[in-house]
C-alpha cells in the first residue's frame, strides 16, 4: 500500500518535525511541571488564601456624608442620562468617603466624593494606593503599575486597572479596577509565578495579539500530533525490520541501534498520552482564549437590562439608614467600629438596604420600608432577578443550592443555581442574600472540569501520586527527545557496525551503512 518513497517521506517529516518542535515541547513540559509544583500546597487554588481587612484604617462614619444619596443620582442622571441604577453604595476608604454608582450590572461604575459631590472616577493613583492599603489585613501599599484586565463582571473586553503591590503580613499583587478600585484578582508570589509560566511557556501568549499567538500555538500543537502519528506509523511499518536488523549481538550493542530501539519503545509508550494531552489542551485554550467571552458568560449579558431602581427615586440618607437598622447590627458596629458601607438596591418588588458592618463578610439585608432584616431570597425571586440580566430574558429552571467563590469577599457564598434557556444554556449562580449574579457557566464550561482534570494529571486526587505520574511521563518524553537527537547527530561515537547477518562487511559497506538513514537500512524488509 505504501511504497519506499512514501515511507521515506514519512520518516523525513517525522525527523524534521521532531527537531523543530523540540523547543515548544520542552517549554510545555517545563511549565506543566512548574505549575504542578506551585499548586501542590494550594488548598484554595490560584485564588490564594487571604485575610481581608475587616475595617477601614480610619474610623469614618458614613453619616458624615454631606451630599445626599439621591442628590448624587440626580447629578448622574442629568450629566450622563441615567434612567435606572443597579445599585448605589456609600463606603469609606482611608480618610475618604465616596459614593459608587453602578449604572448596570456589567458597566463601569461612577464614583463621587460624598463630602463635595466631585466626580472621582477614574480613580487617581493616590486613591488607588489608599484602596490597596485598606485591602488586606497587616499589609501596606508599596507601588503600582498601570494595566488592563479581562474580567467576567464587565461587558468591556479590557478593564482599565492597576497592579498594586502590597507588603507586610500578606505580600501580594492586587489588580484593582480604575473605576471604583474593585479587586479583580489577588496574586501572591506563587500565583504570580504560575501566571508567568502559563502565559510564557504553556500557552505562548507574549502580547494581547490573541489571534497571532493562538495560531502559532495551535500550529505547534497540531505539528506535535502529526509527529506522534508519523511515529506510530513508522513503528508499525518497521516492527519486523527492527527485529531482523537487531538479531546479531554485535548489532544490538551498537550505539545508534540502541538509541533507535529505545526511541521506538519510549515513543510508543508516551505518544498516545501526548496526543490526548494536546487535544485536551487545544480545547481548554479554545475556552480560555478565543472563546473566553462565551466561556466566562459574557455572551449571556442582557442588552436591554431594565432592573434596578429609577435614578429619580428619593432615597433615605445614611444617618436615617443607620438609625433604623442599629438595633439589628452587632455590638461593635453600633459603637466601637462604624459601619463600613451602605448599599441602596432593588430586590424584586421592594427596595432594600445592604449594610456591611465588616468588609470581609456578606452584607446584612434590610427592608427600606420597615428597616427590618430580610430573610434570604427565595429561589423564585432570585431567579426572577437574574432573568433580567440574561440575554433575551429566557425561561429557566432551578437546579440546586451551590456555594460559589465571590472574589469581592474571597470566600464562597451560598447561591442558587439556575439553568437558562439562552443560546448558551447558561447556568447562573445567584447569591441568596443579595441577588447578585456571582457566576455564569455556559454549557461547554460544564465539560471543562473533567478535561482540566485530565490535562492537570489529577487522576487520583492524591497530589503526590499525580505528580509522580506526571514525572514518569515527562521523563519518558525526555528520553524520546534525547534519543531522537542522538539518532540525528550521533557524533564521533557512532560505531561503524554491520547490520546484515553473516560475514563481516567490507570497510566501504560499513561506511555506507553508517551513513544511511533508518529507512535505507531497513528498506529490504519494510517495503
- Interval 91-118: pLDDT, tens: 999 999 999 999 999 999 999 999 999 9
Cis peptide before 271 (omega within 30 of 0): no
Same domain, 229 and 174: no
pTM: predicted TM-score of the whole model, two decimal places: 0.83
Q: Which residue has the cell 466601637?
A: 336
Residue 143 located in a structural domain: yes
Q: Which of 404, 413, 417 is nearest to 363 (CA)?
A: 413
- Please identify, among 182, 202, 222, the residue that sits at the C-terminal boundary of a domain: 202
The answer to whether the beta carbons of residues 30 and 201 sit under 8 Å apart is: yes
* Residue 169: DSSP 8-state: S
Residue 470 located in a structural domain: yes
First and final C-alpha spacing in the chain: 9
Same domain, 73 and 198: yes
- Interval 143-157: pLDDT, tens: 999 999 999 999 999
Question: Which pLDDT band holds residue 240 (cuts at 50, 70, 90)?
Answer: low
| Residues in contact with 486: Cβ distance below 8 Å, sequence separation at least 6, in sequence order | 255, 256, 259, 263
The total number of structural domains that make up the chain: 3
Which domain does 12 fall in, by range?
4-38+207-293+457-526
Question: Which pLDDT band holds residue 259 (cuts at 50, 70, 90)?
Answer: confident
Same domain, 242 and 127: no
CA gap 511, 158 in Å, rounded:
63
- Interval 154-172: pLDDT, tens: 999 999 999 999 999 999 9
- Interval 421-480: pLDDT, tens: 999 999 999 999 999 999 999 998 888 989 999 999 988 888 889 999 999 999 999 999
Q: Which residue has the higher pLDDT, 256 or 29?
A: 29
Same domain, 31 and 95: no
Same domain, 156 and 111: yes
Residue 66 located in a structural domain: yes
- Interval 346-365: pLDDT, tens: 998 899 999 999 999 999 99
86 three-class SS: coil
Residue 126 confidence (pLDDT) above 50: yes
How many other β-carbons are positioned within 10 Å of the β-carbon of residue 55?
A: 19
Average pLDDT over residues 304-324: 93
- Please identify, among 202, 229, 256, the residue that sits at the C-terminal boundary of a domain: 202
CA gap 400, 499 in Å, rounded:
69
Same domain, 198 and 52: yes
Residue 276 confidence (pLDDT) above 50: yes
CA gap 396, 494 in Å, rounded:
70
CA dist list (Å): 466 to 191, 316, 462: 20, 57, 6
Same domain, 66 and 118: yes
- Give me the count of residues in the chain: 527
Residue 22 located in a structural domain: yes
Same domain, 52 and 189: yes
Q: Which of 74, 69, 107 is nearest to 91 (CA)?
A: 69
> DSSP letter string over 496-515?
----SSSSPPPHHHHHHHHH
Residue 339 located in a structural domain: no
Residue 489 confidence (pLDDT) above 50: yes
Amino acid at each position: 500500500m505504501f511504497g519506499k518513497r512514501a515511507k521515506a517521506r514519512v520518516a523525513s517529516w517525522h525527523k524534521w518535525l521532531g527537531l523543530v518542535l523540540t523547543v515548544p515541547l520542552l517549554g510545555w513540559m517545563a511549565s506543566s511541571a512548574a505549575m504542578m509544583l506551585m499548586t501542590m500546597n494550594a488548598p484554595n487554588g490560584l485564588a490564594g488564601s487571604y485575610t481581608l481587612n475587616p475595617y477601614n484604617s480610619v474610623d469614618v462614619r458614613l453619616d458624615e456624608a454631606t451630599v445626599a444619596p439621591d442628590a448624587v443620582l440626580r447629578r448622574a442622571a442629568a450629566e450622563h442620562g441615567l434612567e435606572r441604577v443597579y445599585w448605589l453604595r456609600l463606603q469609606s476608604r482611608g480618610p475618604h468617603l465616596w459614593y459608587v454608582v453602578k449604572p448596570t450590572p456589567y458597566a463601569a461604575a461612577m464614583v463621587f466624593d460624598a463630602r463635595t459631590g466631585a466626580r472621582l472616577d477614574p480613580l487617581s493613583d493616590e486613591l488607588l494606593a489608599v484602596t490597596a492599603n485598606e485591602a488586606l489585613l497587616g499589609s501596606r501599599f508599596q507601588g503600582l503599575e498601570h494595566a488592563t484586565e479581562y474580567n467576567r463582571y464587565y461587558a468591556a473586553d479590557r478593564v482599565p486597572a492597576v497592579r498594586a503591590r502590597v507588603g507586610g503580613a500578606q505580600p501580594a499583587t492586587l489588580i484593582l479596577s480604575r473605576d471604583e478600585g474593585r479587586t479583580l484578582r489577588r496574586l501572591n508570589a506563587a500565583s504570580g509565578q504560575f501566571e508567568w509560566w502559563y502565559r510564557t511557556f504553556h500557552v505562548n501568549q507574549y502580547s494581547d495579539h490573541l489571534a497571532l499567538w493562538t495560531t502559532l500555538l495551535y500550529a505547534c500543537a497540531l505539528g506535535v500530533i502529526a509527529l506522534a502519528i508519523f511515529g506510530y506509523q513508522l513503528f508499525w511499518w518497521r516492527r519486523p525490520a527492527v527485529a531482523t536488523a537487531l538479531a546479531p549481538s554485535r548489532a544490538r550493542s551498537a550505539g545508534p541501534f540502541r538509541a533507535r530501539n529505545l526511541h521506538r519503545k519510549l515513543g510508543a509508550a508516551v505518544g498516545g498520552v501526548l496526543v490526548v494531552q494536546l487535544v485536551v489542551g487545544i480545547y481548554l485554550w479554545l475556552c480560555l482564549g478565543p472563546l473566553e467571552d462565551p466561556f466566562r458568560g459574557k455572551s449571556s449579558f442582557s442588552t436591554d437590562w431594565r432592573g434596578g431602581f429609577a435614578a429619580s427615586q428619593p432615597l433615605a440618607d445614611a444617618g436615617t439608614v443607620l438609625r433604623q437598622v442599629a438595633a439589628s447590627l452587632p455590638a461593635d458596629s453600633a459603637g466601637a467600629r462604624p459601619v463600613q458601607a451602605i448599599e441602596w438596591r432593588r430586590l424584586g418588588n421592594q427596595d432594600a438596604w445592604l449594610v456591611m458592618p465588616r468588609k470581609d463578610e456578606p452584607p446584612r439585608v434590610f427592608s427600606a420600608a420597615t428597616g427590618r432584616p430580610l430573610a434570604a431570597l427565595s429561589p423564585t425571586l432570585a431567579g426572577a432577578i437574574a432573568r433580567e440580566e440574561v440575554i433575551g430574558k429566557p425561561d429557566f429552571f432551578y437546579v440546586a443550592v451551590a456555594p460559589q467563590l465571590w472574589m469581592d469577599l474571597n470566600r464562597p457564598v451560598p447561591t442558587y443555581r439556575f439553568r437558562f434557556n439562552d443560546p448558551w444554556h447558561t447556568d447562573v449562580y445567584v447569591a441568596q442574600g443579595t441577588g447578585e449574579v456571582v457566576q455564569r457557566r455556559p454549557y461547554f464550561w460544564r465539560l471543562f472540569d473533567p478535561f482540566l482534570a485530565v490535562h492537570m494529571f489529577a487522576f487520583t486526587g492524591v497530589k503526590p501520586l499525580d505528580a509522580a505520574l506526571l514525572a514518569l511521563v515527562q521523563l519518558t518524553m525526555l528520553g524520546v527527545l534525547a534519543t531522537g537527537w542522538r539518532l540525528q547527530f550521533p557524533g564521533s561515537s557512532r560505531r561503524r557496525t554491520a547490520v546484515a547477518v553473516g560475514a563481516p562487511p567490507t570497510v566501504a559497506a560499513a561506511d555506507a551503512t553508517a551513513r544511511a538513514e533508518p529507512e535505507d537500512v531497513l528498506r529490504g524488509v519494510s517495503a
